Chains A and B, each alone.
Chain A
Amino acid sequence: GAGVSQSPSNKVTEKGKDVELRCDPISGHTALYWYRQSLGQGLEFLIYFQGNSAPDKSGLPSDRFSAERTGGSVSTLTIQRTQQEDSAVYLCASGTTGETQYFGPGTRLTVL
């Protein structure tokens, strides 16, 4: 079956612009994570959705970052007023619980 998909695969934007990154999880998966990964670094947790529970937003680095998950399926990560330090690969993962995670291919964001 289809895995986790993310779009766009690459995004180049100018400093100060807003960007939206999309994640389509595996159908039926109730858990969804967003991570950020800078080159050669580990996975930085951003936000966790689990079913109808309030999302765990404890990893969002600033109020410029927000995420939504509509209808328990598709999720959008929005970064407002992008900064150069926001440049990274943004990874989405989904799972049936919060445990085993299936990752998408990521969106590579470059802020000029």
Chain B
Amino acid sequence: GQQVMQIPQYQHVQEGEDFTTYCNSSTTLSNIQWYKQRPGGHPVFLIQLVKSGEVKKQKRLTFQFGEAKKNSSLHITATQTTDVGTYFCAGNRLTNAGKSTFGDGTTLTVKP
């Protein structure tokens, strides 16, 4: 079945440093979504990428979808303590009735 792998599992950074998490699928995806889960909270939708090579930005966050639509990345510039949490990607296969498969997430901690 479809697998979505995320690396790294954990990342500890000093406030102000950059952070990147990577998402890789074993199969070609129709689209990918990114979610953020704050400690003690539930996942919250951030963005969806659909097109090959697509790049989207939300303030200090940059999301990319690979040309082959099998990988994606989330980059945060100049991290802040408010960025703390777990970032999940979720991919949809071309033929799977819309069902998403989540990666295991990357947990980010930021030292002030």
Contact = CB atoms under 8 A, between A and B. Distances in A.
A49 B31 CA distance: 19
Contacts of B98: 31, 50, 97-99
B102 A42 contact: yes
A25 interface: no
B97 A98 contact: yes
Contact of B101 (A45, A91, A105): A45
A66 B98 CA distance: 21
A17 B104 CA distance: 30
A91 B31 CA distance: 22
A105 B42 contact: yes
Nearest to A35: B102
A103 B97 contact: no
A33 B98 CA distance: 11
Contacts of B105: 42-43
25 contacts: A33-B100, A35-B102, A42-B88, A42-B103, A42-B104, A42-B105, A43-B105, A45-B101, A45-B102, A50-B99, A91-B43, A93-B43, A98-B97, A98-B98, A98-B100, A99-B33, A99-B92, A100-B33, A100-B45, A101-B35, A103-B35, A103-B43, A104-B42, A105-B42, A106-B42
